[in-house]
Amino acid sequence: MGAQAINLLSKFAQIAEPWSPRVVAQLNDYQFKLVRLQGEFIWHDHPDTDEAFLVLEGRLRIDLEGESVELGAGELYVVPKGRRHKPSALEEAKVLLIEPNGVLNTGREGGPRTVQNDQWI
């Protein structure tokens, strides 16, 4: 097939459920993941890595302990390693995550909201 651009928003046609990241590209041992966010996620952290959120469409709120950050389309925020955070989106947000291979959506919190990692579309 050869070299091909990845149209990020178009890829969301292949993603039905929210809070379930899908991998679309890899950069060394990092992955680009697309995820639909709607409603509230759980508090969690990633003890070994920072985590980048880039909003493609909609609005995302990330609660951090003691403060919060709001992101609209075209806005980026990097959650520092080990910092507890809770993403939420009143209306659906389409988000690009960038993080190392193997990072789980619920970090070390685990629990029923945890989804399978490394699902490519």
- Binding residues vs a second copy (CB under 8 A): 2-9, 24-28, 30, 32, 49-52, 54, 56, 62, 64, 67-72, 74-78, 81, 98-100
User: In whole angstroms, what is the distance from residue 105 CA to residue 74 CA?
Assistant: 22
Q: State the CB neighbour count (10 A cutoff) for residue 115.
A: 15
Closest contact distance (angstroms) between CB of 92 and a second copy is 17
Residue (26 or 119) nearer to a second copy, CB:
26
Which residues, at least 6 apart from 70, have a Cβ–Cβ distance to it below 8 Å? Answer: 59, 60, 61, 62
Residue (66 or 111) nearer to a second copy, CB:
66
Residue (42 or 56) nearer to a second copy, CB:
56
User: In whole angstroms, what is the distance from residue 1 CA to residue 22 CA?
Assistant: 21
